[in-house]
Structure 1
């Protein structure tokens, strides 16, 4: 509990190791989430459009709405869990206040916008897929950056 009061991990090596293990697990989740979305939906607007709307020429059925809702629900839940843990550790470390606020706000907004933009693309057309791809990559890249900063600081302390 000393870390919660002093932000110092040096006196508690076990807590530091635990935080490093959790951060590595979250970074692994983020990388595997990119692979999963690449396989299930596609990471380009064209591949995602083919998944969402189908392709008669290639005999590809459109995704079921229930399947899309399930994927969006899982994405929202896992993004919030991963980000809350990652950001809780990140906030306990010393960083520049202005940069930290902007980056964390952008991270959370992009993580929440990505699944919602996928639903908007299902109903509103392929225009929304560009926003989904952008938000998806922004939140994953920012989360990977935050995770590596946390790991670096934990290794240095």
Structure 2
């Protein structure tokens, strides 16, 4: 991870530039697949997420166990923080006049989406809010990634 310290020297080292570019592309691929994974596991519509989290007696669907949901949230917090840490570190190094609002929005919505997901087991009305916040943190991370790619390809 020492290459992140040398991100300001990218003009002198094209190989380092490619390394960081491929890292950012990999992180964006992870973010896209994370959305697909959540769509498959929990659902990103109110009906599918509600059926997964709360269950559905008419369709004989059991609700997700709280310990399974807690384990899911635990893994998500770790992976989202690592992803955002890498993206924001590169973003700050490349863009000295970086927008702090985008960084704060990314981290805040990433954590908030996990907290709201846990709360949906007791407050079903929060399911729609969870979907919006979940997609918002992914969108802000995508924006960070595309800004970085734009700076690297200049």
TM range (shorter): over 0.9
Name stretches of at least 5 consecutive residues in structure 1 with no aligned partner: none
Q: CA deviation at 1:152?
A: 1.3
Assess if the C-alpha contact under 8 Å between 1:3 and 1:9 holds in 2: no
What is residue 102 of structure 1 aligned with on the other side?
A: 101
Unaligned runs of 5+ in 2: none
The Cα RMSD (Å) is: 1.7
Q: 1:81 to 1:120 in 2, by over 3 A?
A: same
Distance 1:54 1:15, change over 3 A: same
Moved over 4 A (4+): none
Cα-to-partner distance string for 1:55-114 (whole Å, 9 max, x where unaligned) = 1111111111111011101110000000000100000122545xx111111111000100
| Distance in 2, Cα, partners of 1:19 & 1:2 | 8
Matched-pair contact (CA < 8 Å) for 1:27–1:147: yes
Partner residue, 2:113: 114
C-alpha distance in structure 1 between counterparts of 2:78 and 2:7, whole Å: 31
Q: How many residues were matched structurally?
A: 153
* Counterpart position of 1:57: 58
Matched, 1:27 2:7: no
Q: Verify the 8 A CA contact 2:53 2:63 in the aligned structure 1.
A: yes
- Equivalence for 2:14: 13
Mapped partners of 2:53, 2:110: distance in 1: 20
The alpha-carbon distance between structure 1 residues 64 and 10, as it changes in their structure 2 partners (threshold 3 A), is: same
